Chains A and B, each alone.
Chain A
Amino acid sequence: MASLLQPDRVVYLVRGEKRIRTPLSQLYFCRYCSELRSLECVSHEVDSHYCPSCLENMPSAEAKLKKNRCANCFDCPCCMHTLSTRATNIPAPLPDDPTKTAMKKAYYLACGFCRWTSRDVGMADKSVASGGWQEPENPHTQRINKLIEYYQQLAHREKQDRDRKKLARRRQCMPLAFSEKYGLGTRLQRQRSGAPISSLSGLSLKEGEDQKEITIEPAQALDEVEPLPEDCYTRPISLPEVTTLRQRLLQPDFQPAGASQLHPRHKHLLMKRSLRCRKCEHNLSKPEFNPTSIKFKIQLVAVSYIPEVRIMSIPNLRNMKESQVLLTLTNPVENITHVTLAACEDEDPDDINSTAKIMVPSKELVLAGKDAAAEYDELAEPQDFQDDPDVVAFRKSNKIGFFIKVIPQKEEDADVTVSFKIRHDFRNLAAPARQNEEAGDVVAEAIWLTHHVELRLGPLAP
C-alpha cells in the first residue's frame, strides 16, 4: 500500500543537527519543543527484548547472559528462516524386551523454505520435542572468557581511577554532597551506562585488593602454518558443498567452509525501543511491553499533528510552460486549522533541490477538523467555507484539494522538484494552558509553525 501512495515524493525538512528530508510518515513531532524530529535526532533506548518467532519476553539481564538469543527457537543455517520441529515414527526396541519393537517418536529440525533438515549435518534425531538441541561448543571459549574477565577488571580499575581524579578536582569548588543532590552525578552516569553509582559515594583506597588479580598469558605467534592439502589445486569443487559468505559469517565462531558443518544457531532476539527527544528529554515513542501488542503507550508521530500534503494528479509537464498540479492537504487534528502556503524566496538556504518555479495560492486555506463521527451524523449541515474555485478543487471532511502552478525551468529534467513553505496553526494541548478565570474553560494557545516541503513531480513529458 505504501508504494501505491508514493509517500516518498513529498518530503518535509527537519532542522536538527543535520538537515534531513524525509516523508512525514517517518517523522516524529515533539509537542513540547514544537518541532519535527527524525530518527537521527532522537536518542534510541532499548525497552525490552523478545524472540520474533515464539514472542517470548526476556529481561535484559537474561538476554545478555544468553548472548541475545532465544532458548527455544533455531535459525536455519542455510537460509536463515525459522526452523520447525518435525516428528517421525521410528521403530525402536522396547527397553524391557529387546525382541519386540514399538513405534517411538523421533524429532528433527526442518526448514520449510529451503528444505534443510538437521539430518543433513549429521545431527541425530532427538527423543524430546524441545530442549534437546545443543549448539556446538566453540573450542576457544575458555580463552575468550578469560580475556574478557581480565579486560573487564582492567576497565573497572581505570574507571575508578578516573572517578577519583574527577571528584578530587570538584571537591575544590563544591562539596561532595552537592553533586549528588543536584543530579549532576546522574547526568554523568547516564553517559557511561556501565558505571556503578556506588563508585562515587563509597570510595576507599582498599578496594583493589579484595578482587582477585587475573593474569593472562600473551598470545603466541606461530611460525609454522598448517600446509594446504596436496590436491588443493586438482580436486574438483563441488559447488553445493561450498558455503556462501553470508552463511559462513553468520557463525563467526566456526566460519565453516563446507555445508555439512553448518549447524543451526539459536534465533536472535529483537528489541523494542523507545525514542526520546534530545533537547527536552521527553519520550516521543514508547511501545507497550507485551511483545504481542503493536500499540504504543506514547506515540507522538508527525502525521497526527502536522497537516499532510499529498500529490493527487500531475498533468504533462513541459519545459517553461505553466501547468497545474493538484495537491491534497489533510488535517489530522480535531479543530479547524488555517494553512498558508508561501513559495521559497530566492537565496533560501533550505531550497537546494528545486528545478522549477512554483506559484502557490496566496489566500489562507481553511481545513475542517477531523471528525470521526461525521459519517454517521446525517443531520449535520455541511460547513460553508466560501472556497475560491480557482484555488480549491474539492473539499471532503478534513481534506481539501488545491491547485498549484508549476513552471519547469530545466530542459531534460528527469525529476521536476518544487519546494514551498507551509505555515499552519498548532494548538498545543500538552502544555499547561492559561486558565480563563471567569469562564473556567481551557483555551490552548495557538502557535504558528512553518515547515519546508519538497515535492518530486517526476519527469517532463516527452
Chain B
Amino acid sequence: MHHYSCVKIAAGAVVCVESEIRGDVTIGPRTVVHPKARIIAEAGPIVIGEGNLIEEQALIINGYPENITPESVVEPKTMTIGMNNVFEVGCVSQALKIGDNNVIESKADVGRNVILTSGCIIGAFCQVNTCEVIPENTVIYGSGCMRRVQTEKPQPQTLQLDFLMKILPNYHHLKKTVKAGHNV
C-alpha cells in the first residue's frame, strides 16, 4: 500500500533532520523530535499532538500486524498520540491510541493492542503487550511489570521543551515546516 509520503510538521515544532520520518505523519506544534528518532507510518497514518517529547532512538511505528499473509487486505488504522507525552530514549511504541500526559520510559515496549489513557507511566524496560486499556494514572514498573496507581498525573515537561526548542536549532538543522494539505 503506498501512501503519500507527506510529513506535515506544524509551525512551532522542532524536528531534527537526522530523525527518520516515513509515511503519512502529522506533527503538532511545540513537539520536539530528537535526532535518530524514528516515526514510521507503514500501515496507516500517524497523528501526533502538541507538546510531545520524542527522544533519541525512540521508535513510533504504525506497522502491519505480524501474522498476515501478503494477499490479505489490512485496513489502514490511524495512530493517534495526544498532548504532552514523553517517549524516552530507545522506547518502542506501537500503541494505536495514546492519550495525554503519558510517559513511556527508556527501552520500554508498548504493543499494538494497548491503549494508553492519560497519566500512565510505562517504566523502563517494561514490555506491555497485553490487549487492554490501561486505566488513568497507572504506573507500570519493575521487572515483573508491577502496577500501581498514582494520585496525580506526571508533570508536563514544559521547562524541558522550552530549553530544547532553544538549544536544538543551534546544533541541528531542522525539517521544514509543512502545512497540512500540502504535498511534498
Interface set of A (CB-CB < 8 Å, partner B): 78-79, 113-117, 119-120, 240, 259
Fill in one digit per residue for B133-175: 1 if any A CB lies within 8 Å of its CB, else 0.
0000011011000111111101000000000000000000000
Contacts of B146 in A (CB 8 A): 79, 114
Q: What separation, in Å, do the CA atoms of A259 and B152 have in the docked complex?
A: 15
Shortest A110–chain B CB gap in Å is: 10
22 A-B residue pairings within 8 Å (CB atoms): A79-B141, A79-B142, A79-B146, A113-B123, A113-B141, A113-B142, A114-B139, A114-B146, A114-B148, A115-B121, A116-B148, A116-B150, A117-B150, A117-B152, A119-B152, A120-B150, A120-B151, A240-B138, A240-B147, A240-B148, A240-B149, A259-B148
Question: Are B151 and A114 in contact, with the CB atoms below 8 A?
Answer: no
Q: Give A111's nearest chain B residue, CB to CB.
A: B141
Q: What separation, in Å, do the CA atoms of A114 and B122 have in the docked complex?
A: 10
Question: Are A114 and B142 in contact, with the CB atoms below 8 A?
Answer: yes
Q: Give A114's nearest chain B residue, CB to CB.
A: B141
Interface set of B (CB-CB < 8 Å, partner A): 121, 123, 138-139, 141-142, 146-152, 154
Shortest A192–chain B CB gap in Å is: 44
Contacts of A259 in B (CB 8 A): 148
Q: What separation, in Å, do the CA atoms of A259 and B139 have in the docked complex?
A: 14
Determine the main DSSP class of A at the interface with B. Answer: loop
Q: Give A113's nearest chain B residue, CB to CB.
A: B141
Q: Give B141's nearest chain A residue, CB to CB.
A: A114
Q: What separation, in Å, do the CA atoms of A120 and B148 have in the docked complex?
A: 11
Determine the main DSSP class of B at the interface with A. Answer: strand
Q: What separation, in Å, do the CA atoms of A114 and B147 have in the docked complex?
A: 9
Question: Are B151 and A115 in contact, with the CB atoms below 8 A?
Answer: no
Given contacts A79-B141, A79-B142, contact A115 B154 (CB under 8 A): yes
Q: What separation, in Å, do the CA atoms of A385 and B154 have in the docked complex?
A: 69
Contacts of B142 in A (CB 8 A): 79, 113-114
Instruction: Rank and list the top 8 A-B pairs by shortest CB-CB distance, nearest first.
Output: A240-B149, A114-B141, A115-B139, A120-B151, A115-B150, A240-B148, A115-B121, A113-B141
Shortest A451–chain B CB gap in Å is: 39
Contacts of B148 in A (CB 8 A): 78, 114, 116, 240, 259
Shortest B1–chain A CB gap in Å is: 40
Shortest A247–chain B CB gap in Å is: 10
Q: Give A260's nearest chain B residue, CB to CB.
A: B151
Contacts of B141 in A (CB 8 A): 79, 113-115
Q: What separation, in Å, do the CA atoms of A77 and B142 have in the docked complex?
A: 14
Contacts of A79 in B (CB 8 A): 141-142, 146
Contacts of B123 in A (CB 8 A): 113-114
Shortest A281–chain B CB gap in Å is: 44
Q: What separation, in Å, do the CA atoms of A115 and B121 have in the docked complex?
A: 9
Extra inter-chain contacts (10) besides given A113-B142, A119-B152, CB under 8 Å: A78-B148, A79-B141, A79-B146, A113-B123, A113-B141, A114-B146, A115-B139, A115-B150, A115-B154, A116-B148
Q: What separation, in Å, do the CA atoms of A120 and B151 have in the docked complex?
A: 6
Shortest A103–chain B CB gap in Å is: 16
Q: Give B148's nearest chain A residue, CB to CB.
A: A240
* Interface-centre pick from A79, A119, A259 (highest chain B CB count, 10 A): A79
Contacts of B147 in A (CB 8 A): 240
Q: Give A239's nearest chain B residue, CB to CB.
A: B147
Shortest B126–chain A CB gap in Å is: 11
Q: Give A240's nearest chain B residue, CB to CB.
A: B149
Contacts of B150 in A (CB 8 A): 115-117, 120
Q: Give A241's nearest chain B residue, CB to CB.
A: B149
Contacts of A117 in B (CB 8 A): 150-152
Q: What separation, in Å, do the CA atoms of A120 and B121 have in the docked complex?
A: 16
Q: What separation, in Å, do the CA atoms of A290 and B48 have in the docked complex?
A: 53
Q: What separation, in Å, do the CA atoms of A355 and B3 have in the docked complex?
A: 65
Q: What separation, in Å, do the CA atoms of A114 and B138 have in the docked complex?
A: 10
Shortest A453–chain B CB gap in Å is: 36
Shortest B144–chain A CB gap in Å is: 11
Q: What separation, in Å, do the CA atoms of A115 and B150 have in the docked complex?
A: 7
